[in-house]
Structure 1
Amino acid sequence: MGSQYFPARSVLFQKEPSGVTYRVPALLYIPRSSCFLAFCEERLTPADAQAHLLVMRKGTFYKNYVEWKDMEVLSTARLEGYRSMNPCPVYDEFTGTVFLFFIAVLGHTSESYQLITGKNVTRLCYVSSSDQGATWSSVTDLTKTLIGDTIKEWATFAVGPGHGTQLKSGRLIIPAYAYHIDCRNCFGRKCKTSSHSFCFYSDTHGNVWHFGEALSVPESVECQMVSVDEENGVNVLYCNARSVSGCRVQALSFDNGADFHDGQLVHKLVEPKNGCHGSVIGFPAPIYQFGQTQHFLKPLKSIYSPLAVSMSPLNFLPPTWVVYAHPTCSKTRRDLGVYLSVLPRDPDSWSRPWIIYKGPSAYSDLAYVELMPPDAPAVPVFACLFESGTKTAYDEISFCIFTLYELIEHLPQRNGEKRKGLWECCFVS
């Protein structure tokens, strides 16, 4: 295993003596103002049915530390008589607008009640901010205009949780999943459902929204999506989703989320019993800086074609690498780890995990930051907002930052294998 090195972390939200608990983190980085927006649910107890409001903390990134403001309640992100859940923010780089999507669930109605009865009491909502989270709009309920009569086919649904993404075309992507009603009255027994991931999307900077076809098989629930540029110039939308199959599910869309091909099980990314939410984030492979040097040329050629490695940065679009965060234990939610894939289309391409938190841990959300030091290559940096604790995974929500170099350096090797060079260890199978 790799050395037991953990990135420094800060606790942003902590369970209160009254029992009020903070769960389901979502993280967004806004480059133009160098700030993080950290969201989560405020719950009266840890139970899903006791969710209440959405809260936020804003942090300014000063290259080697983040200065956080006090927590604030997002008072407009709610419907009267409903509880707000599953924060899912996305940033439109073209307009500078932050959209915070969430679901509003009637009263204390549980998800299980909706699944058993087929009575969907969930609404799709968002609020927006044009000043990097300083102020927020009133709530918009999209359920009727966007989902329409399709809502009758879903026992319930949700977005995210965690960040959405924007494609180079400007399309905004909000990951989502729904429990489709397969049989409403099955011989007098409870409603039968199946879960499927999909996305809501907008090509008009949030003015008009649509939703795509769902991933049909295998069943999938909470998900996140990444726009992936491949070395041959093909772009795909990569979906990584929670499942109850003992491992994650991934699927690809070749039309920017309008439709997904059948999914694949990712056996290297294990799930605990009943699964757990995980996070993925994409970033351009750092071969601009290193692809032309003899020191890094050999390991790169073993992965990329000789033509791609030898091409000039002026003519070559770097492929997308993907980082994934999730509890690493197959039995329970603990020991949060981060994994790296340099070929995300291949379900066998994932590295073994670097454990960044030892102990109870659950939901997480990742953000990517590109640091630009003066007269030096860009430094890929990642931030992770995650549920953690000593007694339970829901004692607190923590925040940490680590570089790509730290991640690669601490990816574990197989037993008896000497540590490889910094870039070669990306490709451990």
Structure 2
Amino acid sequence: MSAYQTVVRIWRSARGRAWAVGGAVVVLAVVGSGLLPGPDGPSDGDEDSPAGTGQRKPGLTAAVSAPFSAFTEGYDCYRIPTLTTTQDGTLLAIAEARTSGCDDIGDIDLVLKRSTDEGRTWGPLQVIRGAGDPGAYGNPAPVVDSASGRITLLHAYSTWTPAPDGSRVRGPRELRLAHSTDDGASWTTDPAPQPQLKGADWAWVSVGPGHGVQLTPTRPDRPGRLVVSADYRTESGESGAQLLYSDDGGLTWKPGARWGAPEGTPAPNEPALTQLPDGRIYVNARSTATCGTSDHRVSAIIDDAAAPEVPAPGFVPVSGLPAPPASGSVLQLPGGPLLLSAPSRPGAEFSDRWTLAVRTSQDEGRTWSKDGAVVLRERAGYSDMAALPGGRVGLLYETANGTPHGYIKFTAFGPHELRAAAEDLTPRRTDDATGHHNDAVVHGSPRLGNRPGGGRALRFDGKDDFLRLIDCPDELRVGEGDFALTVWVQYKTRGQDRDSGRRQPLAWAYGQGPTARQIRIEADPATGRLEATVNAGTGPVSVTARTRTDDDTWHHVVLQRIGGRLELSVDGAPPATATGAAGDLRPAGAFTIHLGTQPDYRAYYAGALDDVRLYGRSLSRNDMARLRDGHDVTDQERVHLPFDGIR
């Protein structure tokens, strides 16, 4: 009996009793980048708590075992996990093993570990591809044929060369094939290139990552079709997804249904697939649209893998599913829910890959429940799932300390655990009053209070409280022109910050580092004054306030650029100024604006903030006086956070 048949039998016997979600679709989600393991990053505090309660449920077991660990067994970093169950129930964990750092381009091998006890322990590391070859093997996409037991491993291959600046340049990329007929113990040595699976005008091609599927047989005497997902980019710039299929147990492969994104629309990237109970193929993919939208995943349903095109409407955005850009995995359990593992912390940056959780959909993935079960509240990246012979679900995923990549861990869960750990995963927010809807996501447990003579205020504990403005809308990109950032602040320098010299970040827009475009305001514990910095990519320009502000009373702060001059004013007094602040501050890619922390989360603000505003122009003396007196100034206002409440 195949693993698939075993799961069907177990699932049907438990239907309505174990999972008891009435055919719901379930999603596994990862929320929380970096290259290699580093210092511990923060958890997301109570952001994952049931709304308004500040309470957490225990969550699912984070890890049963760790098949691959960074800086072990000859490799610096392990990425792109793939999980599959063989015909005899052996569990295969396949990954990219990267020999120097965690870069996507370089000497990368495909490695495997096998488990015969449902992931509790793993055998020795095996190199499937790449031993003695400096090329890059990647994106493993295994699929098992239930008739023969043969495992087919489609994967990508490319060469690379060093660039003059020390970076790496990837060579042409192609798809290749490997087979195993002994449950992954050994693999064919012929690289078996598959040129028929790459279009003549394609500049890029890849498969998965993640396992493929075998469709339900349409005739008793014919095995089910094998299907694997792929994505591509043409030389003319079209991006899209395609299905690859085999009707002879994986020996030969053909290109199937294809969909190219119309110009100006989101394209599917790193698609994952599964078969729905009615026989159709469900595909859920990472979207190429990152900024200006909260919909970072797209999906499609396909009737026939061998058809020339994906049927209309093709890939459409999945709304109500918070997710940063990252790969995910889908798994339809027979007679029950569909599982999806994917990053789910809202945000447009790779660094937003945190918190592994499970949510549900009642309509084949078109809408999603707010409830879910957390697996890991810390940083985690790509993942893949497989049905285990005993009826549980196995999950293989990336994580590390302070970064989502480097280690690959395994966990498993059953239906009762999933239901018991369910909690409201809706991100808490505080509203933008401008009408631009640039609401801030609330992390930790900042407390609402009052500012005398003003409105509400938000107090941060200096430990894990902070806010994020996400999805990088165009109106929050400060370019070459004037701008103004205003905020009410109240704080007192802490002894621990004075002793360490650590600055407290009040507001930090965009990137971090000596060449990153950025705008920031920090409290300097040595002087008791605020310091503001802008960087147009050529180096920082800073200005320090003329007076102290660490006296635990409220101060109105205005940072603005007028021409090439930077001004920092406190309580309407003459501003401190600095020259040389001209230049384009607009981030080249996705960005986040943080309040109460900095982008690497190594320092936090302890104090209160109120009435945060960003303008696409400088402010006059009269404008600033009106703001101090509690009046609105709305001309070219890009965001206004009055902190009237948290929802």
TM-score, normalization by structure 2: 0.50
| Contact 2:141 2:212 (8 Å CA) reproduced | yes
Is it true that 1:343 corresponds to 2:360 in the alignment? Answer: no
Q: Shift of residue 79 of structure 1?
A: 9.6
1:164 is the counterpart of 2:212: yes
Q: Which residue of 1 aligns with 2:384?
A: 365
| 1:66 corresponds to 2:120 | yes
Aligned AA (1:69): G
Q: Give the 3-state SS of the residue equivalent to 1:270 in structure 2.
A: coil
Match of 2:111 among 55, 80, 98: 55
Partner of 1:419: none
Return 51-60 or 350-359, whichever deviates more.
350-359
Match of 1:211 among 248, 251, 255: 255
Distance 1:207 1:73, change over 3 A: closer
Report the secondary structure of 1:141's partner residue. Answer: coil
CA contact (8 A) 1:86 1:158 kept: yes
Residue 23 of structure 1 aligns with an amino acid whose one-letter code is R
State whether residues 240 and 251 of structure 1, in contact with CA within 8 Å, keep that contact through their aligned partners in structure 2: yes
Q: Is the 8 A contact 1:177 1:221 kept in 2?
A: yes
* Cα distance in structure 2, aligned partners of 1:388 and 1:257: 36
Summarize deviations over 1:99-135 as a string: whole Å, max 9, x none: 1111001125899967xxxxx7111111110000111
How many Å apart are 1:402 and its aligned residue? Answer: 0.3
- CA 1:108–1:360 in 2, change beyond 3 Å: closer, same or farther? farther
Cα distance, 1:255 vs. partner? 1.3
- Aligned ranges 1:237-386 → 2 under 5 Å: 237-245=281-289, 246-256=295-305, 258=307, 259-261=309-311, 262-272=314-324, 275-285=325-335, 321-331=337-347, 332-344=352-364, 346-350=365-369, 352-371=371-390, 380-386=391-397
1:130 aligns with 2:185: no
Aligned to 1:392: 403
Q: CA deviation at 1:93?
A: 0.6
* Superposition TM-score, scaled by structure 1 size: 0.74
Structure 2: state its 5+ residue gaps.
1-49, 51-55, 218-223, 290-294, 427-647
Instruction: Summarize deviations over 1:319-354 as a string: whole Å, max 9, x none.
Output: x5211112221231111222333431x511445332
Structure 2 vs 1, CA of residues 113 and 351 (structure 1 numbering), >3 Å: closer, same or farther?
Answer: farther
- 1:104 — aligned with what? 157
Say which of 406, 409, 415 aligns to 2:420.
Answer: 409
Distance verdict in 2 for CA 1:85–1:79, change over 3 Å: farther
Q: Distance in 2 between matches of 1:353 and 1:395?
A: 26
Alpha-carbon spacing, 1:20–1:80, altered in 2? closer, same or farther (3 Å): closer
Picking from 232, 240, 250, the partner of 1:178 is 232
1:143 to 188, 194, 199: 194
CA distance 1:39–1:4, change in 2 (3 Å): same
- Residue 86 of structure 1 is matched in structure 2 by 139
Runs of 4+ deviating beyond 4 Å: 77-81, 108-114
Answer whether contact 1:98 1:128 (CA < 8 A) is retained.
yes
What RMSD, in angstroms, separates the aligned Cα atoms of the two structures?
2.5
Alpha carbons of structure 1 residues 194 and 354: separation in structure 2 relative to 1, 3 Å: farther
Over 3 Å counting, the alpha-carbon distance change for 1:137 and 1:407 in structure 2 is same
Question: Could you tell me whether the CA contact under 8 Å between 1:198 and 1:257 is conserved in 2?
Answer: no
CA distance in 1, matches of 2:340, 2:253: 28
Deviation at 1:154, TM superposition (A): 0.9
Q: What is the distance in 1 between the residues matched to 2:173 and 2:132?
A: 11
1:247-273 Cα distance to aligned partner (Å, 9 max, x none): 21000111135332311211222232x
Pairwise CA distance, 1:198: 1.3
Q: Which moved more, 1:204-213 or 1:83-92?
A: 204-213
Q: Is residue 2:280 matched to residue 1:236?
A: yes
1:195 to 227, 233, 239: 239
| Contact 1:323 1:341 (C-alpha < 8 Å) held by counterparts | no
Give the conservation status (yes or no) of the 8 Å contact 2:207–2:270: yes
Match in the other structure for 1:225: 273
Return the index of the structure with the highest Cα Rg. Answer: 2
Looking at structure 2, the residues matched to 107 and 244 of structure 1 have their Cα atoms a distance apart, in angstroms, of 24
The answer to whether structure 1 residue 39 and structure 2 residue 89 are counterparts is no
On the 8 A contact 1:265/1:347 being kept in 2, the answer is no
Q: What SS class does the counterpart of residue 340 from structure 1 fall into?
A: strand
Q: Which residue of 1 aligns with 2:22?
A: none
1:37-89 CA distances to partner (integer Å, 9 max, x unpaired)?
Answer: 00101112111012411111100126xx63311212124x6795531011111
Q: Which runs of 5+ in 1 are unaligned?
A: 115-119, 183-192, 286-319, 372-379, 416-429
Which amino acid is the alignment partner of residue 332 of structure 2?
G
* Contact persistence 2:60–2:418 (CA under 8 A): no
- Contact conserved, 1:198 with 1:212, CA < 8 A, in 2? yes
Q: Distance between the aligned counterparts of 2:69 and 2:161, measured in 1?
A: 23
Change (3 A) 1:335 1:414: closer
| Identical-pair percentage | 25
Describe the SS at the equivalent of 1:61.
coil
- Aligned CA distance change for structure 1 residues 113 and 178 (closer, same or farther; 3 Å): farther
Deviations 1:287-329 (A, max 9, x none): xxxxxxxxxxxxxxxxxxxxxxxxxxxxxxxxx5211112221
Q: In proportion to residue count, which structure has more helix?
A: 1
| Distance in 2 of aligned mates of 1:34 and 1:143 | 29
Rounded Cα–Cα distance in structure 2 between residues aligned with 1:334 and 1:414: 13
Counting matched residue pairs gives 344
Q: Counterparts of 2:333 and 2:253 in 1: how far apart (Å)?
A: 26
- Separation (CA, whole Å) in 2 of partners of 1:370 and 1:8: 20
1:357-408 per-residue CA deviation (whole Å, 9 max, x = no partner) reads: 121110000111252xxxxxxxx41110000112211131100000122112
